[in-house]
Amino acid sequence: MSDSVNESLENIANKDIQSSHLISISRFNKRSNKTTRLIGNESVENYVKGQHREYKFLLEEPFFIQSIRVETEGYLNYKTADFFWNSLSGASVKKEVKKNSNEVFVVRVNDFVKDFCFKPSRQYSGETLIKKVTVYGLSAFEFERALSDAGDLDAYRDELLLAAQEKVDEFNELNEKVKVLDLKEDELNDKVVLLEEENEKKEALIASLEKKQAEINSDINRRNAEESEVKLRVAKLDDDIDKKNKQRESLNQEIVNKERELKNLQNDVNLFPTEISGFVSQGARNISRYTVLASLPIFILAYVTFYVFNSAADFLQAYSLVTTDNMIAVFLSRLPFAMVALGIVGASYKIAKLFISEIIKINTQRLSLSKISIIAKDVSEASEQGLDMDEEQRYSLRTKLKMELLRSHLKSYVEDEYYNTVPLKKKTVESKEDIEVE
């Protein structure tokens, strides 16, 4: 039986049943018409403008048509088309078809047809085209062969049904055995139920324990989060403390620097007035100004000297051509030029000498002031060492020292016999007695 079934199945598998195919334009009449050229069309030139009229197609012989596809362009989604055909039995059929998303009208015929037509619905806006008409079906001969193949399939089906009935009988026998097994399964199921009840109790206990564990884990996570937050706050406070300490150190250093600068300024103020630095700055500006003014006569001196020496070569060449008779005339003609040149050179020399002497004088005064500043600073600092004096006494003595040094500076020198005649009181560590110092 198994061999017969396999043979039937092999015959069915090897059976090549005729299926519907594309009907070409060669099987239609009036192939030169624009409408007929739409059959299997692949050229844009054969497209037909879509109108609300019937597009008819006539076959050379009756065909079993399975389906008709009309490809269009420009029709709205809700538009439809009416298909008409006359069957070989004489019946007239009409079907209304709606366009799909690919702009194609598809209709199922499944009948012998000699001719057919379709009529699109009217559209008032936009340009519409009918691009292609595709017909699938079988000729009469192909249809008869397909029916013969279908008859063979019926015979094979009967054989398969007989074999299937035998298998059903075998199945019934096995079903009886299954019922016996089912009874045993019921007994086992009862045991399984008891085991499942015990398992449910254990699962409930496990669920309760897991819930408690989840609560404990949640509490641990919450405490860990709080600990992390506290650590972050502590780290932030440590950073703030470090920043404040750095700011405090910076401010302390700045205060020390400012106090040192204030002390230096106070010492400078007690030694000399601020106008002295202004005098030094003004002297530097005057030196720059005198240097610029002195450059002009120095340039004139250099230019005249260069011109005279450069013209001397021409004079030597002219000397060989001069005779004794015209020598006096040449001398007299050159005399005014020589006098003017000597005058310019003399005036430029005096002006340059004046400016240069002023520059030297200003520089000498600046050096004298620098010398006096150094002497005054050393004398003041040396005089205050080991003396117990208040600020008023220091100010009075410094003022007196300053006036004497300035008076000496106005004489353009510091007297060699100068010495300090200010009475001072020196405090000793052992006896703490005041000693008059002349």
Of 334, 424, 419, which Cα lies nearest the Cα of 386?
Answer: 424
Query: CA 414, CA 404: separation in Å to the nearest integer?
Result: 10
Tokens describing residue 430: 């052992």
The pLDDT value recorded for residue 133 is 92
d(CA 37, CA 133): 9
Q: Are residues 139 and 283 in the same domain?
A: no
Q: Which of 138, 154, 170 is the last residue of a domain?
A: 154
Q: Which of 319, 299, 279 is nearest to 410 (CA)?
A: 279
Same domain, 300 and 432: yes
- Reduced to 3 states (helix: H, G, I; strand: E, B; else coil), residue 436 is strand
- Distances in Å between the Cα of 400 and the Cα atoms of 270, 287, 396 are 11, 32, 6
Per-residue model confidence (pLDDT) at position 414: 47
Rounded distance, CA 108 to CA 377, Å?
123
Residue 158 near residue 117 (C-beta atoms within 8 A): no
The CA-atom distances, in angstroms, between 183 and each of 187, 189, 244 are 7, 10, 87
Q: Per 3-state DSSP, what percentage of the chain is helix, strand, and coil (rounded to 5)?
A: 65, 20, 20
In a domain, 5, yes or no: no
- Please check whether residue 261 lies inside any domain of the structure: no
Contact (Cβ atoms closer than 8 angstroms) between residue 135 and residue 66: no
pTM over 0.85: no
Please report whether residue 258 resides in a domain: no
Cβ contacts of residue 341 below 8 Å, gap of 6+? 304, 308
Residue 64 in contact with residue 140, Cβ under 8 Å?
yes
Identify whether the C-beta of residue 357 lies closer than 8 Å to the C-beta of residue 294: no
Q: Does some domain include residue 197?
A: no
**Strands of 121-177, DSSP E:** 129-139
How many domains are contained in the chain? 2
Residue 219 lies in a domain: no
Q: What is the pLDDT of residue 387?
A: 66
Question: What CATH number has the domain bearing residue 69?
Answer: 2.60.120.260
Q: Is residue 391 part of a domain?
A: yes
Question: How confident is the model at residue 8, as a pLDDT?
Answer: 53
Give the number of other CB atoms < 10 A from CB of residue 387.
14
pLDDT value, residue 427: 43
Do both 150 and 279 map to the same domain?
A: no
Same domain, 290 and 431: yes
Separation CA 366–CA 286 (nearest Å): 12
Last residue of a domain, one of 109, 124, 154: 154
Nearest CA to 165 among 5, 10, 3, 12?
Answer: 5
Q: Is 385 helix (H, G, I), strand (E, B) or coil?
A: coil
At residue 78, what is the residue type? Y
Asked whether the beta carbons of 320 and 273 are under 8 A apart, the reply is no
Residues 268/402, Cβ–Cβ less than 8 Å = no
Query: For residue 216, is it within any domain?
Result: no
Residue 254 Cα to chain centre, angstroms:
42
Taking the CA atoms of residue 241, residue 245, residue 248 and residue 252 in that order, the dihedral angle to the nearest 10 degrees is 170
From the list 126, 131, 134, 39, the residue with the least C-alpha distance to 75 is 126
Please say which residue of 154, 183, 216 terminates a domain. Answer: 154
* Predicted local confidence at residue 428, as pLDDT: 41
Tell me if residue 6 falls in helix, strand or coil.
helix
- Provide the residue range defining the domain that includes 30: 11-154
- In tens digits, the chain (438 residues) has pLDDT values of 555 555 555 555 555 555 678 888 888 888 888 888 888 888 888 898 888 898 999 988 888 888 999 999 888 888 889 999 988 878 888 889 988 888 899 999 888 888 899 999 888 888 889 989 999 988 877 887 777 666 666 666 666 677 677 778 788 888 888 888 888 888 888 888 888 888 888 888 898 888 888 889 888 988 888 888 888 888 888 888 888 888 888 888 889 888 887 776 665 554 454 445 666 677 778 788 888 888 888 888 888 878 777 766 666 555 555 555 666 666 676 677 778 778 887 888 888 888 888 888 888 777 777 776 666 666 666 666 666 667 677 667 766 776 776 676 666 544 555 455 545 444 443 433 343 333
Segment (H or E) for 115: strand 104-120
95 backbone dihedrals φ, ψ, rounded to 5°: -135, 135
Question: What is the rounded distance in angstroms from the CA atom of residue 133 to the CA atom of residue 38?
Answer: 5
- What is the Cα–Cα distance from 283 to 279, expressed in whole angstroms? 6
> Which residues, in sequence order, are bridge partners of residue 118?
55, 83
- Note whether residue 223 is domain-resident: no
Residue 25: the pLDDT is 86
How many CA atoms lie within 13 Å of 242's alpha carbon, on the beta-carbon side? 6
Rounded to a whole number, what is the distance in angstroms from the first to the last CA of the chain? 154
Distances (CA, A) of 106 to 57, 81, 92, 393: 16, 10, 18, 124
